[in-house]
């Protein structure tokens, strides 16, 4: 009987350790509406079977600031900052800011897309390492007069960027949350909230 109890305990311990629950930290940059943070928390919890930890807010690093076309923060610099501050207890960290963020848009061969004046500092919704441990989203380009649409955009971009962290690339399925925005918010609006079956398979 004692052996059975011991065996049962070991089995339960192994199951709990291999449950695959991810720990995602949300890092607010500056003052972010708590409703926005809650909305992101709920969708990430549901989409990725994740424990969500809200980190203490911090200011955007001055080193990420640029003013090439307009005042922006370089998303790639923010990804590095997030890696530096990510607690060891957290698997992935998602930064969120209300400021505009940008990156350099490149061709597959690494060259800057043309015209360079347009793509060298390109405003974006979000960016994430693929695969990696950090991603960042901005509410700046997601605003809408209807709160529900604004909320849905934020949720989709959050799920999308964490998907990149998990190794997912852009998807051709027109309802999958991992489809490429192709430089327009309308693509985000038409996408679903969930991963398609192929992306779910690739993630596992």
Number of domains in the chain: 1
Is it the case that residue 95 has pLDDT exceeding 60? Answer: yes
10 domain residue, yes or no = no
Is it the case that residue 159 has pLDDT exceeding 60? Answer: yes
Q: For the segment 117-136, what is each residue's pLDDT rounded down to a tens digit?
A: 999 999 999 999 999 999 99
The pLDDT value recorded for residue 41 is 98
197 domain residue, yes or no = no
The parent domain of residue 117 ranges over 22-170
Is it the case that residue 91 has pLDDT exceeding 90? Answer: yes
182 domain residue, yes or no = no
Average pLDDT over residues 76-93: 97
Q: For the segment 14-73, what is each residue's pLDDT rounded down to a tens digit?
A: 333 334 569 999 999 999 999 999 999 999 999 999 999 999 999 999 999 999 999 999
Average pLDDT over residues 99-105: 97
The pLDDT value recorded for residue 9 is 35
Strand (E) or helix (H) holding 51: strand 50-54
192 domain residue, yes or no = no
d(CA 157, CA 32): 16
Q: Is 172 or 8 the better-scoring residue by pLDDT? A: 172
181 domain residue, yes or no = no
55 domain residue, yes or no = yes
Phi, psi for 72 (deg, rounded to 5): -145, 170
Task: State the CATH number of the domain containing residue 70.
Answer: 3.40.390.10
d(CA 120, CA 187): 22
Is it the case that residue 197 has pLDDT exceeding 60? Answer: yes
203 domain residue, yes or no = no
Over pLDDT 90: what percentage of the chain? 86
List the one residue out of 74, 43, 45 whose CA is nearest residue 157: 43
56 domain residue, yes or no = yes
Question: Please, which residues have CB within 8 angstroms of residue 36's CB and are 6 or more apart in sequence?
Answer: 96, 139, 151, 154
Is it the case that residue 3 has pLDDT exceeding 60? Answer: no
d(CA 175, CA 102): 25
List, as one string, the DSSP characters of 116-171.
HHHHTTEEESEEE-SSSSEEEEESTTT--SSHHHHHHHHHHHHHHHHHHHTT---B
> Contact 58/85 with Cβ under 8 angstroms?
yes
Q: How many CB atoms lie within 10 A of CB 197?
A: 10
Name the band, by pLDDT with cuts 50, 70 and 90, for residue 87: very high
Taking the model in full, what pTM does it have?
0.88
């Amino acid at each position: 009987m004692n052996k059975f109890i011991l065996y049962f305990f070991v089995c339960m311990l192994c199951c709990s350790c291999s449950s695959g629950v991810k720990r995602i930290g949300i890092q607010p940059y500056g003052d972010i509406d708590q409703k926005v943070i809650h909305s992101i928390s709920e969708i990430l919890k549901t989409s990725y079977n994740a424990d969500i930890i809200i980190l203490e807010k911090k200011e955007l690093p001055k080193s990420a600031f640029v003013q090439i076309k307009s005042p922006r923060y370089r998303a790639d610099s923010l990804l590095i900052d997030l890696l530096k501050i990510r607690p060891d207890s957290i698997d992935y960290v998602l930064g969120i800011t209300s400021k505009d963020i940008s990156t350099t848009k490149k061709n597959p061969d690494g060259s800057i897309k043309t015209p360079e004046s347009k793509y060298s500092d390109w405003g974006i919704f979000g960016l994430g390492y693929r695969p990696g441990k950090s991603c960042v989203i901005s509410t700046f380009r997601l605003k809408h007069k209807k709160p529900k649409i604004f909320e849905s955009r934020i949720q989709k971009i959050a799920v999308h960027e964490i998907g990149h962290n998990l190794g997912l690339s852009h998807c051709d399925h027109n309802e999958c949350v991992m489809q490429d925005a192709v430089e327009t918010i309308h693509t985000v609006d038409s996408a679903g909230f969930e991963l398609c079956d192929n992306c779910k398979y690739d993630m596992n």
